[in-house]
Chain A
């Protein structure tokens, strides 16, 4: 078994496994609503998440990180590929068969203003999941809501208030309380702190960490802020145009980025130290992320990459293991000495050929 399929050296079954998942959105036009093109939002992504681990998912807007998060919790159905949660494939389950799973996996959303129903009281928002899943009596539910509100740093007296009476940070706490109501195993947090001030953001990150320790939670943490992701994650996946281009233990990604895109992302993060900021070399990426409707050929990053050569334009690089379960997809890897020959982990006999054939197929 390869590192990619296992996600750990210990050999235990991972909590979640994502295998070659694709999510395409059709673009339809005309009276017949014929499909004229497809948005390749998530394009062949594989990884595994161990129990109790935090996997960070980073990338620029439009890279497919939110779509991937929503596909994992099955708010969206994948176009292709497998999602295996606790040993069960869940990629094509219907609403009814998904319901018991919803107790196990929950989501925290980005915008604390849009993700809470303004006409419901806090108590109802947090107890609704329990009501839907018929957990305990009314009195039990109410008592439990009080407990959860306390756990996330609110007070049980907030039970009868409305969302508009709370600040952004407090609302995000309500969103977390709702996600915790069913005692899930996995929480997919989609940019949970991006809308908050730095001081509130650090409160929230510490809270998420405490909850993970207290409830043995597993997180998939989606964010575009590399500082935040480094702080919370055990491993980090970097996405670009629907693909994972680098997957690495958290600290190693920052000390030894292999993919030039990761290098550029890291160098763009502003550092709150003027002398250091003035000294370091910054790689400014030109232009924007290309359209996922018609992604570039070969390596998708090649039009913005300063190391790009002919091979990058033609052949899509496979995700390769460079040791310490550090994977990257690049023809010109950085920070790699030639001593350890990289291993192909895609499980295909000839990844170069199969990826090019796929390109011609999709174009």
Chain B
């Protein structure tokens, strides 16, 4: 069995704000093994990014409160001091941020920014660090790394900047790569290049990847296991086939049905999830998806636990509906118009 790198147990993150307490993450658990890709999907405000930043220790502050455990190779990262956390960051956990335009410093050369990261973690002279930076840029597929290493970020296109970001995240050989919406700001053609790159690097560097996105299409190409988040909670969790071919949560159906898909005939109208995600300060009673769920019934006033309700072990969901009922009715949501076509 592959080595278990990360184990998150019932993680809760709260922020105190002027308007009240924001429960950004409310009970998240997962395990991550070496060589695996975990996909986290959800809308804005579902707690995906806060989860990623918390794993990196970037949400620490006077207003933040944490519960639960984040066990990295057996050690709880939530209890590690700020100084020790710096050693984990970069060395053990690398992060790729969403916006390659704003996450690079515009006044430093690309190479300097990578070298800075390497030198912060290793006793290594500048020349060797620079050689490593060039080698990294080559590995992420940047053409002419010897000369481009001295470019400024504005001389790079969006895709090249994202490659530089990935090089930086990989510079100290982290065991876990956390990618927070790494392809969202990119064109589809460049997005395909980056997805391929992350897949290849995961094997080259023998690491595990947490891939956060709202795009189920990208998830279908890269993830082994998938977590669907809603209002700071995991509402469904399973392997890739579980989520795509046997989704149990009406929210997951809604996400699948909202995409205008190229692999299906064009529906007359797209499915929509009515309303908006709830405010994290004032959450609805019971199931958090209840106000937007077309199938909600009386029992939904109590919040369902995250449990295994189907034959496949490990496929968890938070929904009270009868499994057979769900299997009979979910296609109305997932592929609207397919009934008309048939």
Chain A residues with CB under 8 Å of chain B are 60-61, 167-170, 197-203, 205-206, 209, 224-228, 230-231, 251, 254, 264-266, 268-274, 276-277, 282, 284-289
Contact = CB atoms under 8 A, between A and B. Distances in A.
Interface of B: 43-44, 143, 157-160, 187-193, 195-196, 214-221, 240-241, 244, 254-263, 266, 269-274, 276
B273 A199 contact: yes
A266 B193 CA distance: 14
Q: Is the interface of A mostly helix, strand, loop or mixed?
A: helix
Contact of B214 (A198, A269, A289): A198
Contacts of B255: 198-199
Contacts of B274: 203
Given A167-B276, A199-B273, A226-B262, A272 B192 contact: no
Given A61-B158, A198-B255, A288-B160, A273 B192 contact: no
A202 B43 CA distance: 13
Contacts of B271: 202
A202 B258 contact: yes
B260 A228 contact: yes
**Top 8 closest A-B pairs, CB basis?**
A270-B217, A231-B260, A199-B273, A227-B260, A202-B270, A202-B258, A272-B216, A268-B192
A202 B254 CA distance: 10
21 contacts: A60-B187, A60-B188, A198-B214, A198-B255, A198-B258, A199-B273, A202-B260, A202-B272, A227-B262, A231-B270, A254-B262, A268-B188, A269-B217, A270-B188, A270-B218, A271-B217, A274-B221, A277-B220, A282-B192, A285-B192, A286-B193
A286 B159 CA distance: 11
A325 B79 CA distance: 66
Contact of A230 (B190, B191, B257, B262): B262
Contacts of A206: 269-270, 272
B158 to A, nearest CB: 7
Contacts of B44: 168, 197
Contacts of B259: 198, 202, 227, 272
B221 A226 contact: no
Contact of A274 (B240, B269, B272): B240
Nearest to B251: A199
A276 B263 contact: yes
B220 A265 contact: no
Contacts of A61: 158, 187
B220 A60 contact: no
A60 B262 contact: no
B214 A197 contact: yes
Nearest to B255: A198
Q: Give the interface centre of A200, A251, A274, A284 by most chain B CB atoms within 10 Å.
A: A274
B215 to A, nearest CB: 7
B218 A227 contact: no
A116 B41 CA distance: 29
Contacts of A268: 188-189, 191-192
A206 B261 CA distance: 15
A205 B270 contact: yes
Nearest to A280: B263
A228 B260 CA distance: 6
B220 A227 contact: no
A265 B188 contact: yes
Contacts of A264: 189
A110 to B, nearest CB: 13
A229 to B, nearest CB: 9
